[in-house]
A and B are shown apart, each in its own frame.
Chain A
Amino acid sequence: MAESSTNTLRVRLVTPDRILVDQTADAVEVPSETGYFEVLYGAAPLLAVLGAGEVRLHGGEAEGQRFHVARGFVEVLPERVTILAESAQKPEEIDTGAAQQMLDRGHKLWNEAGEDAGKYAHAEEVIEEAESRLASAKGGAK
């Protein structure tokens, strides 16, 4: 532990309901709004908005865990990563039926958006979240 504490990250995944993860890891993949990035020990401090996608934890206590997250923020410090997410689920916990419904709703919103850019953006968000959730659930099945 003494050795690992010098070069592992402390990862926290916090949702409005509880602290889901509070463990150490060697590397964390985080889905930001503009794409995935991977955090290693000693990363430069960073603050980003989360996109819909999967947080993947590698090494340390948290080895191999995956969580689907959506809507939140991530703070990276050299020895600590904190992820705040309004929704966070393990892939096997994802309700694919509900996700499919959400996807349909998103497409419906998209079709009804008309000329309004704001509505398009909203529809796109819904679709993105649903799609990433479905993809995440599928990935967990294999």
Chain B
Amino acid sequence: MANVLDLRRRIRSVKNTRQITKAMKMVAAAKLRRAQERALASRPYSAMLAGVLESLKRRIEIHDPFTGDLRHPLLETREEKRILVVVVSGDKGFAGGFNANIVKATTQFLNKNGKKEIDIEAIGRKARDQFRRMYRDAEIPQASGDEHAELPQRHRSGPIENYGDHTGILNKIEFEQVRELGEDIVARYSRAEIDAVYIVYNEFKSVILQRVVVEKVLPIIEFGQRQVADSQELSAQDRTDAAKAAATSGVSVREGEPEANAKEFEEEAKKFGTAETDYIYEQSPEDIFNAILPRYITSQLYHAMLESVAAEQAARMTAMDSATNNASEMIDSLTLTMNRVRQAAITKEIIEIVSGASAI
């Protein structure tokens, strides 16, 4: 049986752990609040973009009436042979099942599309590390200076390869960096290097309303309409855990006033560029349309990343909350055992004294 000293040491160590998890939980809660605000603040912009596209689409033909060609390469639907999957995970662990769920959803998707050539573009260190262990890095052919020359054939070592990674941008998401990624993806799609683009990320509506989604970004089929290929909701258990964690760290579970305000603005934002008037177009509608399309993709990526960050912090908060609770339980049970052991020792000593005295 463990002695009192050992138990006391263990209790002290668990107490320290609890202090750490508690601090991490509070930090995650603070970060979550900020991430939530950012995700919310980015909504009007993307809603407006979708609104303009929607109204422009009614005014111009997607197909050229003379040649029958598509107005923009991003609207072109090809047979899906080569797919790009953008995986948004976290940079850090200690977030419960957050990263594992993302990787799981991606793996399921990969298995489903096993026969196709798939490139993985990992955003976030956790997914990158995982997929690096599973697949090789792609050898990306360098374009020669001459633009008219065909790009050299890419040599593939397997059907699935890691195309690139972007770690560290989630720490402080800047639109500029996302734009670079978005432009790169758009360029590759326009060159027909890839036939479809999917993004796997954790959607965040509120602390208790989250899901991992696999969403098709390209080709664009319907604006403002999200093409969710697959989704995984939070389990009821996770949801109650999350609600408990939120309640103890002062994060609102329900949509509060700022959200209501944002919603009102969002409603209005949807009307952007959709007024029932005949606009004068400074540039031709086609030009405007073509200028917006790539931005629409970038805005979707940006939005997905912001939501994913909020979801990551929420997951971390929940995980750290249950870790704190577990530590508390452990301390209780260890304290109980320690008291019992101490009591037993005292009793034993008394018995020894008493029986020693009676022997005299």
A and B physically associate:
yes
Chain A residues with CB under 8 Å of chain B are 14-19, 32-34, 37, 44-49, 71, 73, 75, 77, 82, 84, 86-87, 112, 114-116, 118-119
CA distance A119 to B292 in the complex (A): 19
Q: Is the CB of B295 within 8 A of A86?
A: yes
Q: Is the CB of B275 within 8 A of A77?
A: yes
CA distance A15 to B279 in the complex (A): 22
Q: Which of B259-316 touch A at CB < 8 Å?
A: 265, 269, 272-273, 275, 277-283, 287-288, 291-292, 295, 298-299, 302
- The closest CB in chain A to the CB of B37 belongs to A18
Q: Which residues of B contact A33 (CB under 8 A)?
A: 282-283
Residue B44 at the chain A interface, CB threshold 8 Å: yes
Residue B48 at the chain A interface, CB threshold 8 Å: yes
Q: Which residues of B contact A37 (CB under 8 A)?
A: 282
Residue B6 at the chain A interface, CB threshold 8 Å: no
Q: What 1/0 flags go to B134-147 for Cβ under 8 Å of A?
A: 00000000000111
Q: Is the CB of A114 within 8 A of B145?
A: yes
CA distance A82 to B270 in the complex (A): 12
Q: Is the CB of B48 within 8 A of A118?
A: no
Which residue in A44, A47, A84, A112 is a CB contact (below 8 Å) of B49?
A84
CA distance A34 to B283 in the complex (A): 8
Which residue in B52, B272, B280, B287 is a CB contact (below 8 Å) of A46?
B280
Q: Is the CB of A16 within 8 A of B280?
A: no
Q: A48-B288, A118-B147 are in contact. List 6 more A-B contacts (CB 8 A).
A: A47-B282, A49-B283, A73-B273, A75-B52, A75-B273, A114-B146
Q: Which residues of A contact B277 (CB under 8 A)?
A: 45, 77
Q: Which residues of A contact B299 (CB under 8 A)?
A: 16
Q: Which residues of B contact A86 (CB under 8 A)?
A: 175, 179, 295, 298
Q: Is the CB of A18 within 8 A of B288?
A: no
CA distance A77 to B281 in the complex (A): 12
Q: Which residues of B contact A15 (CB under 8 A)?
A: 45, 175
CA distance A86 to B145 in the complex (A): 30
Q: How would you classify the secondary structure of chain B's contact residues: helix, strand, loop or mixed? A: helix
Residue B234 at the chain A interface, CB threshold 8 Å: no
CA distance A17 to B287 in the complex (A): 25
Q: Is the CB of A49 within 8 A of B44?
A: no
CA distance A19 to B49 in the complex (A): 14
Residue B42 at the chain A interface, CB threshold 8 Å: yes
- The closest CB in chain B to the CB of A37 belongs to B282
- The closest CB in chain B to the CB of A43 belongs to B280
Q: Is the CB of B44 within 8 A of A14?
A: yes
Chain B residues with CB under 8 Å of chain A are 38, 41-42, 44-46, 48-49, 52, 145-147, 175-176, 179, 265, 269, 272-273, 275, 277-283, 287-288, 291-292, 295, 298-299, 302
Q: Which residues of A contact B279 (CB under 8 A)?
A: 45-47, 75
Q: Is the CB of B48 within 8 A of A14?
A: yes
User: Nearest Cβ distance between residue B9 and chain A, in whole angstroms?
Assistant: 50
Q: Is the CB of A49 within 8 A of B273?
A: no
CA distance A44 to B175 in the complex (A): 32
Q: Is the CB of B272 within 8 A of A82?
A: yes
CA distance A50 to B298 in the complex (A): 17
Q: Which residues of B contact A82 (CB under 8 A)?
A: 48, 272
CA distance A16 to B291 in the complex (A): 16
CA distance A45 to B278 in the complex (A): 7
Q: Is the CB of A47 within 8 A of B147?
A: no
Which residue in A17, A19, A84 is a CB contact (below 8 Å) of B265?
A19
Q: Which residues of B contact A49 (CB under 8 A)?
A: 282-283, 287-288, 291
Q: Is the CB of B42 within 8 A of A16?
A: yes
Which residue in A14, A45, A87 is a CB contact (below 8 Å) of B280?
A45
Q: Is the CB of B295 within 8 A of A116?
A: no
CA distance A87 to B342 in the complex (A): 68
Q: Which residues of A contact B280 (CB under 8 A)?
A: 44-47
Find the residue from A16, A17, A33, A114 having the highest chain B CB count within 10 A: A16
User: Nearest Cβ distance between residue B182 and chain A, in whole angstroms?
Assistant: 10
Q: Is the CB of A47 within 8 A of B273?
A: yes
A-B contact pairs, 19 of them (CB 8 A): A16-B42, A16-B299, A19-B44, A32-B283, A37-B282, A44-B280, A46-B280, A47-B280, A49-B282, A49-B283, A49-B287, A71-B295, A73-B52, A73-B291, A73-B292, A82-B272, A86-B179, A86-B295, A119-B147
User: Nearest Cβ distance between residue B289 and chain A, in whole angstroms?
Assistant: 10
Across the A-B interface, the 5 shortest Cβ-Cβ residue pairs: A48-B282, A18-B41, A45-B277, A116-B147, A46-B280
CA distance A138 to B38 in the complex (A): 31
Q: Which residues of B contact A34 (CB under 8 A)?
A: 282-283
Q: Which residues of A contact B176 (CB under 8 A)?
A: 87
Q: Which residues of B contact A17 (CB under 8 A)?
A: 38, 41-42, 175
